[in-house]
Amino acid sequence: MEWDALRAEQPVVTQLLQHAVWRERLPHAYTFEGEDRGELIGAATLLCRAFMCSSKEPKDKPCNQCSECKRVLSGNHPDVTFIQPDGLSIKKGQVELLQKEFAFKGMESVKKAYIIEEADKMTDSAANSLLTSLEEPGGETLAILTTGNLHFLLPTIVSRSQVLSFTPLSESKRQERLQEQGETLELAAIKARVGDKPTEIPAEERKTWIVQGRQVVIQLAEEVFKRPPQAKLLLQEKWHTHFKDRGSIDIGLDLFLYWYRDVLYTKWGREDLAYPDQLERLKAEAFNRSEYMLAANMKAVMEAKKYLAANVNPQLLMERLLLRLQEGS
């Protein structure tokens, strides 16, 4: 990522970072908050390059020509450290190892930088250990923490860093980026809307889970529309076996909500669909349902999400939702 690319998506963030680089007055710590993990890491690496760059002209940083820039880009600069979750969390030992390495002078320069990805996943002991480094950074040190959940970070850590909030990408932009990364149109369209959920499922299994969940929702929506008496059977056989807990049910309800929004969008002639491969089914349902009915269905799903959060029994909640969807009220 370069400044121009970052500016195209995050103009305010880019202006703040560039001005700090140009004035050579970078704070010792930043917290980058946003939904797009790739964008956060790209911006963090860009800032590290600008910080480590050996160019004499601040407005040229990063120059991408000096050895400092090239090493940061390649990921093997001896004075730039990346920390990622080890399993489900960032542990105290990882932070202590970082502090031990940074207790010595930079191997090739007086500057040192580190990026902590998904900093909200630090254990309490790791966060408290990091706090010491943020309070007494020592030397020319730049710390960048990235997070999608700022409220999960210790308030004392947040208060000791400059927080920059990255505005969310539009659904279409997220979808475009996912397709550029090799995702199919169908999967990119859904992932652009629900994100990396469910987060408790390992990344390698998450793709299969969302593909299967998407198919369950398509089938259930079709039963509600064409064969209402069969919908309850499908609910028992497929919905409850796939969406097993409240977190996953909430995602399933989101997928349902996107289905009815797509039906409404199809009625309006819009093309930015969450289910672009289901256009014929969407058109058929759009033809047979009024805008009032679709609005009522979307309201029913949103109310189900609210009741789910209030600990209503999931099975009863879904049976009641099906009834409301069939009635269109």
Q: What is the pLDDT of residues 271-326, one digit of tens each?
A: 999 999 999 999 999 999 999 999 999 999 999 999 998 989 999 999 999 999 98
Boundary-marking domain end, from 165, 188, 222: 165
Q: Stretch 21-40: mean pLDDT, rounded?
A: 90
CA-based nearest residue to 120, from 53, 35, 180, 239: 35
pLDDT of residue 276: 95
Last residue of a domain, one of 125, 145, 165: 165
Q: Which residue range(s) make up the domain with 292?
A: 171-327
Q: What is the pLDDT of residues 53-76, one digit of tens each?
A: 988 898 889 999 998 999 888 888
Q: Which of 165, 194, 223 is the last residue of a domain?
A: 165
CATH number at residue 126: 3.40.50.300
Q: Global pTM?
A: 0.62
- Our count of domains for the chain comes to 2
Residues 319 and 183 reside in one and the same domain: yes
Taking a C-beta distance cutoff of 8 angstroms, is the pair 271, 282 a contact?
no
Given this model, what pLDDT does residue 329 score? 47
Is the pLDDT higher at 287 or at 228?
287
**216 vs 119: CA distance, rounded Å:** 34
Same domain membership, residue 249 and residue 113: no
CATH for 183: 1.20.272
pLDDT value for 300: 94
Q: 185 and 155 in one domain?
A: no
Considering the chain, what is the average pLDDT of its residues?
89
Are 187 and 161 members of one domain?
no
Based on the fold, state whether residues 82 and 105 are members of the same structural domain.
Answer: yes
- Is residue 127 domain-shared with residue 274, that is, in the same domain? no
At 203-222, the pLDDT tens digits run 778 889 999 999 999 999 99
Do 53 and 89 fall within a single domain? yes
Residue 155 and residue 118 share a domain: yes
What is the residue-wise DSSP string for 159-214? HTSEEEEPPPPPHHHHHHHHHHTT--HHHHHHHHHH-S--TTS-HHHHHHHHHHHH
For residues 148 and 297, membership in a common domain is answered with no
Handedness of CA 31, 85, 254, 169 (dihedral sign): positive
Residues 199 and 113 in one domain: no
Q: Are 137 and 28 in contact (CB under 8 A)?
A: yes
pLDDT tens track for 175-208? 988 898 899 999 999 999 988 788 778 877 888 9
**Percentage of the chain exceeding pLDDT 90:** 58
User: Quick one: CA dihedral 265, 269, 275, 280, positive or negative?
Assistant: positive
User: What does the pLDDT average to over 155-167?
Assistant: 92
**Are 212 and 317 within one domain?**
yes
